[in-house]
Amino acid sequence: MQPKVSLQRMTKGIVVQIGFVVAAILILYSSLFEWQSREHWGVLVAYTLLTILSTFTPVRLSNTILTVNNAVIFSGILLFGTWIGVWCAVIEALIIAFLVRVNPVKAAVNIGQLVMTIWTVGALKDWLITFDSVSPILSDLFLALVYWFVNLVLCGLGISYFYNKDWVGTIKEMAKGFTSTYLLLLILAGVGSRLVESYGLMPLIPMMAAFVTISYVFHHYYSSVQKLQQKVEEIKTFNHRFLTTMAASIDARDHYTSGHSQRVAYWGREIARAIGLPSDKVEEIYFGGILHDIGKIGIADEILNKKGKLTPEEYDKIKQHTVIGYEIILQAGMFHELLPAIRSHHERIDGKGYPDGLKGLDIPLMARILAISDAFDAMVADRPYRKGLPVEDALQEIRRGAGTQFDSELAEQFIRVVNQLSREELETIIQHDGQTEKQLQEAIH
């Protein structure tokens, strides 16, 4: 597996560090033939100044800062052609790299991705001009979309290489962060270009005022959004700490299962990740594991901590912890999304579980996942009255119960997750005694 990852990174490195730079050199060379010194010096100086100025007046979004230099370059392509975009981009990138001392390799790659974007849009613009029937509005919208897409893909590739991140994931993250604003700026640049084309330079004044106004409005809007997000994160952190404290309290009541809730939460999270659930669902299942035994608060100590076998009556009372926990959380009016974990983690696929006797897919996914995590931890953990089963034997029990007690597919995923861990990692998780979640994470990652 590791050689494949290395090969992918090596290939990405060749494309980014060599491909981008070679493409930049070729495009720069080809633009020389469009250069006409008498006519182009004034335009080049004006656009380069505008590009540099726009770089230092960014639009601040909720999670990133977006420079408007691409909008200026885009308008240059529409008005004067590919050459102005290429030269502006190169001169601006070199000046910025010199001023802020950007890594020369990264600066060269940045120039490469930018001029490739410009060249693509310029070539498409020239091609569209050959069709007289194409509306300028539609043409500009199409070119704005192309500019956004090509720039996004190439930037994402460069960032994913330098920061060793997944390419597709990087592109999705970038697209989610600034697509609407980016396209709005390009469209405004297109409108401004058409106005300049028709009425001269005077429309630039209201256009620049519009850019400044947009930047000001976005700055204040996203500052408010950031403050709100900070509050949400604070509440989220408080909830996480509260739930972790609850788990410690639950485990403290049952002397035989120290750390059980956190271990069940851990295994539940690993299964959720293995089946590809989104991060918010993975987090829900983790906290469902943390709270799944909260109903034990309502079970008498002499039953909960009884040494030896429970009587049928005592076992019936223990089984009530699922309903007790459900009622506690329901009445609290919080964490409703975790209710299936609390009420249904002892349901069985064949309908012989409790408290509702649910069958198959009628059992919520969160509960089916935690049923496996709960059973595995109960089997491998030591108790004062018995020694925990070896991992291989516990996995065999999970395998044997697949299709009757456990969801077959989830059981298979769980066994695969466990088998991927080293003996040391398994021991660390199994022996975790519920001190802190941070300790568990540090020990196994």
pLDDT at 445 exceeding the cut of 60 = no
Closest CA to 178 of 206, 193, 156, 205: 156
Tokens 């005694």: give the residue: 433
Per-residue pLDDT for 255 more than 70? no
Q: Rounded to an integer, what distance in angstroms lies between the CA atom of residue 246 and that of residue 239? A: 10
In contact, 357 and 393? CB cutoff 8 Å = no
Q: Measure the CA angle with vertex 282, ends 279 and 285; round to 5°.
A: 155
pLDDT in tens, 34-70: 776 666 777 788 788 878 777 776 666 656 666 778 8
- Residue range 80-120, pLDDT digits in tens: 888 888 988 888 888 877 777 678 888 889 899 999 999 99
At 439, is the pLDDT very low, low, confident or very high (cuts 50, 70, 90)?
Answer: very low
Each as own residue / partner, the long-range contacts of residues 165-171 (CB below 8 Å, 24 or more positions apart, any chain) are 167/12
Among 410, 405, 322, which residue's Cα sits nearest to residue 359? Answer: 405
Q: Give the per-residue pLDDT at 434.
A: 54
| Closest by Cα among 127, 37, 35 to 86 | 35
Rounded Cα distance between 103 and 110, Å, is: 10
φ, ψ dihedrals at 33, nearest 5°: -75, -15
The mean pLDDT of 286-295, rounded to a whole number, is 90
Residue closest to 49 by CA, chosen among 24, 76, 28, 19: 76
- Which two structure tokens, joined as six digits, stand for 426? 């398994």
Quick one: three-class SS letters along 398-436? HHHHECCCECHHHHHHHHHHHHCCCHHHHHHHHCCCCCC
| pLDDT higher than 80, residue 436 | no
CA distance 356 to 372: 18
| Residue 195 pLDDT | 82
pLDDT value at 295 more than 70: yes
Coil vs helix vs strand at 364: coil
Q: Is the pLDDT of residue 163 over 90?
A: no
